[in-house]
Amino acid sequence: MRKGKPPFDAPAAATDAGSALFNRQPDEADFRVSPSPHRRQLTPRDIARNRGVSRLFSNIIPGLPIDADPPETRQEPEPFSALIEKTLKALKIDDSPWLDELAGAWTTIMPPEVVKSARPGKWDNGTLYVYVDSSPHLFELRRTHLKRIEAAVRAFAGDGRVKHVRLMVNAVTIP
């Protein structure tokens, strides 16, 4: 007799060890994220996933299969712009891609009075600094248009990116 695969008519006890792997029901540990030797602690995203796994297994109905991608454990994709900003911040580069998009759309989202004397300047730690060309224009914009500027910028930026809008005089002339 040769050493190799068992013949098809082999007794069930010989193949029982292999079938135990395929008949096993998944449990909570199969879906949880745990620290590995490369990573000592869990990220906030991993902790949120583990909470979702606990919620999934508290709602399981016996006899029904577990969804391959249940909504409880699904992770929403992170926007590419957020990844770019995180990378730039990690590299200590004070630049933001969405600020360029805001500067391009500035003339369409702002009233003409604001466009002729102000432009987006810099974005730092949730605060957008809008450059104004002179002190009288700064006073006038702050008095009459600041709320509209904030509303338009927050609507354009979305997802709570801009916490504050500050107006400041800048020596650079506005084209």
- 96-110 pLDDT, tens digit each: 677 888 888 999 999
**Are residues 149 and 102 part of one domain?**
yes
**Are residues 35 and 99 part of one domain?**
no
H or E element in which residue 167 lies = strand 164-169
* Averaged pLDDT for residues 7-15: 56
Q: What domain range is 31 assigned to?
A: 13-58
Residue 4 lies in a domain: no
Structural domains of the chain, count: 2
Comparing CA positions, the residue from 122, 116, 125, 121 lying closest to residue 161 is 125
**Are residues 94 and 47 part of one domain?**
no
**Are residues 165 and 107 part of one domain?**
yes
Does the model's pTM come out above 0.85?
no
Cβ atoms within 10 A of the Cβ of 134, count? 12
Residue 151 lies in a domain: yes
Cα distances from 54 to residues 25, 48, 60, 62, in angstroms, run 16, 10, 10, 16
Cα distances from 153 to residues 90, 126, 160, 162, 169, in angstroms, run 25, 12, 10, 8, 19
| Cα distance from N-terminal residue to C-terminal residue, the chain | 90
Alpha-carbon Rg of the chain, whole angstroms? Answer: 29
Determine phi and psi for 83, rounding to 5 degrees. -65, -40
Residue 2 lies in a domain: no
Cβ atoms within 10 A of the Cβ of 113, count? 14
* Whether the Cβ atoms of residue 96 and residue 85 lie closer than 8 Å to each other: yes
**Are residues 161 and 100 part of one domain?**
yes
**Are residues 160 and 110 part of one domain?**
yes
Q: Which ranges in 11-77 belong to alpha helices (H)?
A: 12-22, 28-31, 44-58
* Whether the Cβ atoms of residue 10 and residue 28 lie closer than 8 Å to each other: no
Residue 1 lies in a domain: no
pLDDT tens-digit map of 94-152: 666 778 888 889 999 999 989 999 999 888 878 889 999 989 999 999 999 999 999 99
The SS3 of residue 119 is: strand
Residue 41 lies in a domain: yes
Asked whether the predicted pLDDT for residue 18 surpasses 70, the reply is no
**Are residues 160 and 123 part of one domain?**
yes
**Are residues 106 and 31 part of one domain?**
no
